[in-house]
Chains A and B, each alone.
Chain A
Amino acid sequence: GAVVSQHPSWVICKSGTSVKIECRSLDFQATTMFWYRQFPKQSLMLMATSNEGSKATYEQGVEKDKFLINHASLTLSTLTVTSAHPEDSSFYICSARLPSSSYNEQFFGPGTRLTVL
């Protein structure tokens, strides 16, 4: 149980285009999902908290108009990188909070590697 998937696993795009990444909780409903960014050999940095049916909460320094998050259902959150530039190239990872857990365990997706040319 507690499986989280991401799609696509990797994507290459041209500078200036937009890219959408999907995060799905496969065997549980997740009211809260999280989006992280990880640069090579670095730790995970939380970008935003995605709440089903409401606006996402962004961390300081993360541009909400550039990284659009939609959490329209209890099993799907999407992250759209708008007008992507080479500096947006990174490994994007989502996680979903297990609602039945009293300590709110998070389970992570396999990540999406974005390369912007």
Chain B
Amino acid sequence: GENVEQHPSTLSVQEGDSAVIKCTYSDSASNYFPWYKQELGKGPQLIIDIRSNVGEKKDQRIAVTLNKTAKHFSLHITETQPEDSAVYFCAARLTGTASKLTFGTGTRLQVTL
């Protein structure tokens, strides 16, 4: 099955700085890579995703890059704000697995003033 590793486990940045979270996956057959933001006591919210036929996607301050050869993908948050503080999870989906997602271990992002 698929295995997803995520780094770092915790990340502290100052407001206005950029934050980068990296994930690697094991199965080259994975074709969909979503990122979720989870605030304390709440369910995960999809913030951005990328398909295997795309190398980069951007949505305002958030961007995701995918390197299929190296089997890794990254989340980039620019101009961080205190409300970006949360736990972020990456995930990967294998083609033909009935939409099952394999999640990374999570990154706790703290944006300080």
Instruction: Report which A residues bind B (CB closer than 8 A).
Output: 4, 6, 32, 34, 41-46, 49, 57, 93, 95, 97, 103-111, 113
User: Please, how many angstroms separate the alpha-carbon atoms of A107 and B45 in the complex?
Assistant: 7
Query: Taking the nearest CB of chain A, how far is it from the CB of B94, in angstroms?
Result: 11
Q: Can you name 14 extra interface pairs (CB under 8 A) apart from A32-B99, A93-B44, A104-B32?
A: A34-B100, A42-B105, A43-B103, A43-B104, A44-B89, A97-B99, A104-B93, A105-B46, A105-B49, A106-B34, A106-B99, A106-B101, A108-B44, A109-B43
Query: Taking the nearest CB of chain A, how far is it from the CB of B95, in angstroms?
Result: 10
Instruction: Report which B residues bind A (CB closer than 8 A).
Output: 31-32, 34, 36, 41-46, 49, 51, 89, 93, 98-101, 103-106
Tell me whether chain A's interface is mostly helix, strand or loop, or mixed: strand
Residues of A within 8 A of B32 (CB): 103-104
On whether the beta carbons of B89 and A43 are closer than 8 Å, the reply is yes
Query: Taking the nearest CB of chain A, how far is it from the CB of B10, in angstroms?
Result: 10
Residues of A within 8 A of B42 (CB): 110-111
User: Please, how many angstroms separate the alpha-carbon atoms of A57 and B43 in the complex?
Assistant: 22
Query: Taking the nearest CB of chain B, how far is it from the CB of A1, in angstroms?
Result: 12
On whether the beta carbons of A113 and B41 are closer than 8 Å, the reply is yes
User: Could you show 17 A-B contacts with beta carbons less than 8 Å apart?
Assistant: A6-B43, A32-B99, A42-B106, A43-B104, A43-B105, A43-B106, A49-B100, A97-B99, A103-B32, A103-B49, A103-B93, A104-B32, A105-B34, A106-B34, A106-B46, A106-B99, A108-B36
Query: Which B residue's beta carbon lies closest to that of A111?
Result: B43
Residues of A within 8 A of B41 (CB): 111, 113
Residues of A within 8 A of B104 (CB): 43
Query: Taking the nearest CB of chain A, how far is it from the CB of B111, in angstroms?
Result: 19
